[in-house]
Each structure stands twice: as structure tokens, then as C-alpha cells.
Amino acid sequence: MTIPGNLLTTAMAVMPHTDVHQALKAALSLDVPFWPQLPNYNYHEDMYVQAAEHFPGIILDMKKKTLRFSTDKFIAEFEEIMTHFEDLEYFDVSNTYSVVYHRFLDMELSDRPAIRGQLEGPVSFGFNVLDQDDRPILFDDTIRPFMFEFMAKRINVQLKKLKAKNPNAFMFIDEPGMQFVFSALSGYGEQKAKQDLDLFFSMIDSPKGIHLCGNPDWDFLLGLDMDILSLDIYSNAEIFASCTNSIKKFLDKGGVLVWGIVPTGIETFEKENLDLLAFKLKGIWKALDKKGISFDQILDKSMLSPATCCLVNQDKEKTVEKAFQMTNMLSQNLREYYRLV
């Protein structure tokens, strides 16, 4: 079971579509497809809400589209969740929380080089979900260890389902809030995060890795026990490429990098073209090659994707789909250039 490289394409899962069929069609247009998360289609398909399914203490208001937490409710529901703790099916994403996921699992996916799933990670979930005192639940020493174990179970059951469809399936743990760990004001420091994440990854089956669009401490992330890292290189090229030693160690142990290079916002997308994006990637790779990370190793252990997800474009899904198409064209051009096909 391996994660492919050779500049094959994938994308992040959050998409602006309101049509399930159209969203799946776009996801399947990439080399490594995934099941889309469609918050504009249904609030249950919001990435935080999906991760919250069956989590004790959650207060979900579908009308107001809010997700909150109550400590009293957590205590009242804790015994119930523990009766299901060894039942993996209980931790899977239900039809209510994603019709897209179940349609994806009904498809023939064995002929793909790999397929991918995802779940919101515990750090971002813990930062985002607030309790009755408007305090992130990540700061609660009682809730936090349970939350990490809960999310690990949810990731493992999804990966098991995906591997039944394609043995090269892997998981993204989506952590858009990871960059806040490295802020002096976060209240959740790097040392504690490292301890928690090391334990978390030890509970998760492989292959697995982190996807994020922000700018965390890349040395920290590359040092975690994961198989793949997906990032927005379009915005973070200079600072990421400066972490040469950590990148080399990650690649040397077999890690795969997903270079998010094609912008999805209307204004930035319209400023770019294939030649400019290829030039930018080649420049990064050339700089790394000069520092001892060979082109061959980079190409062998790299995939391409859009830079970020985007839900705010006025043209809804149109530019996002164009970005998917450009990612495929960029992959084809670079694979021909480097004689990977």
C-alpha cells in the first residue's frame, strides 16, 4: 500500500458546489479522487460538523448553522458513547452527515492509483468548537485526551472503508487551525501539541498525513509520524523551501509532498497561467536540488493540487473547477517535461 507521487493530482475536499453529482465529477477528474465536503449543499457536510458526529456534548443548531459544546451535556452523554467505543461502524460518517461519502463508496475505484478520504483534525476542531464559557475545548484537560482518541477512531474506520475500495487509499487530517499552535497567544503551546500529536498519530493507521493551507512551523509538521503533507506552496514557497533539512528527512523516510500550486480565488487565478506556475515550481525544486534534495527524489515523492479550497467566489464552483483543470494540465506538462510518462 503506497501513496503515489510522480506529480499525480488530487485536491482538498471542501468545495463550493451545491450539486452532489457535479462535485463528484470534479473530484473524479483528478488522478487521486476523494469524496467532496459540501457545506453549501447541507450544513451537515461542513467539515467541523462532520467531525462532530456522535461527539458527546455537541449542540448543533441546523437553523442558525452553529456548532457549540456543553460540558454538562458531555457528562450526560459520556456513558452512552462509551457503550459504542469498540464499535467502529458507530464512528464512520453517516448518510445524514455526508451523502457524498456514501455515493463515493458505491463507485468503482479500484483502477485508480489511489483514493483519499479526510476528517477534520483534533487541533483545529478543538480550537474552533467553544464551550458554554466561549472557551475552546482544546484547552480542557479532561475533554482534550478523549477528543484525540475519538478522532483517531473516526479516521481509522474511514480509512478501512476506503482501503476496501482501493488498497492504496490514504487519509488527510485537515488541520487549518494548526498554525495557531505557534502563536504566543494560542494558549496551547508547541510542546503540548507535539506530545498530543505524537500520541494521536500512534493511534492512527497508515497511510495518513496532514493537509492545511496556513503557515505553521514546517519543521514541526515535517517531524511528525505521517506519510504525506499537503500544503499551499503558492503562498508559502519561500518559508517552506527554507526548511531543507526537515524536507529531506521527510522524503528520505518515504514521505510524500502535495504541492498546492494553482490558486482558486477568482482574482489570483486570473493572474496565473501554466507557464508561470510551472516556473514557480521548478524554481523551488531547483533550489532544493542545490541543497541536496535531488530532482528525482522530489518528483518521485510529489503530487500536485490546487493551492486552497474556496467557498467565497462569486462564480461559485466555476473558478474552482477551472483550477482543477489547470492542475491536471500542469501535471501533464511537467510529467512530459521530466519524462515521467
> Could you tell me the domains of the chain?
8-337 (3.20.20.210)
Per-residue model confidence as pLDDT tens digits over 136-155: 999 999 999 999 999 999 99
For 289-298, give one letter per residue: b (16+ CB within 10 A) or e: eeeebeeebb
Q: Which residues pair with 37 in a beta bridge?
A: 14
Instruction: Give the cell for residue 119.
Output: 476528517
- pLDDT tops 70 at residue 51: yes
pLDDT in tens, 190-218: 888 899 999 999 999 999 999 998 888 99
> So what's the pLDDT on residue 21?
97
Q: Report DSSP letters for 59-87, one per residue.
A: EEETTTTEEEE-HHHHHHHHHHHHHTTT-
Share of the chain above pLDDT 70, in %: 99
**Beta bridge partner(s), residue 111:** none
- If one counts every other C-beta atom within 10 angstroms of the C-beta of residue 319, the result is 21
- Closest by CA position to 317, among listed 10, 8, 41, 33: 41
Task: Name the pairing type of β-strands 58-61 and 8-9.
Answer: unpaired
State the pTM of this model.
0.95
**pLDDT tens-digit map of 297-317:** 999 999 999 999 999 999 999
Percent of the chain scoring above 90 in pLDDT: 92
| pLDDT band at residue 186 under the 50/70/90 scheme | low
- Which set of grid coordinates corresponds to residue 127? 480550537
170 CB-near residues (< 8 Å, 6+ apart) = 3, 114, 116, 117, 159, 206, 207, 208, 209, 227, 228
Tell me how many degrees the CA angle 303-309-311 measures, rounded to the nearest 5.
Answer: 160
What would the pLDDT profile of 92-138 be if each residue is shown by its tens digit?
Answer: 999 999 999 999 999 999 999 999 999 999 999 999 999 999 999 99
Q: Which amino acid is at 301?
A: K
Check whether the bond before 113 is cis (ω within 30° of 0): no
Q: What are the backbone angles phi and psi of residue 208, rounded to the nearest 5°?
A: -150, 155
**What does the pLDDT read at residue 259?**
98
Integer Cα distance of 262 and 232 in angstroms:
9
Is the distance from CB of 125 to CB of 51 less than 8 angstroms? yes
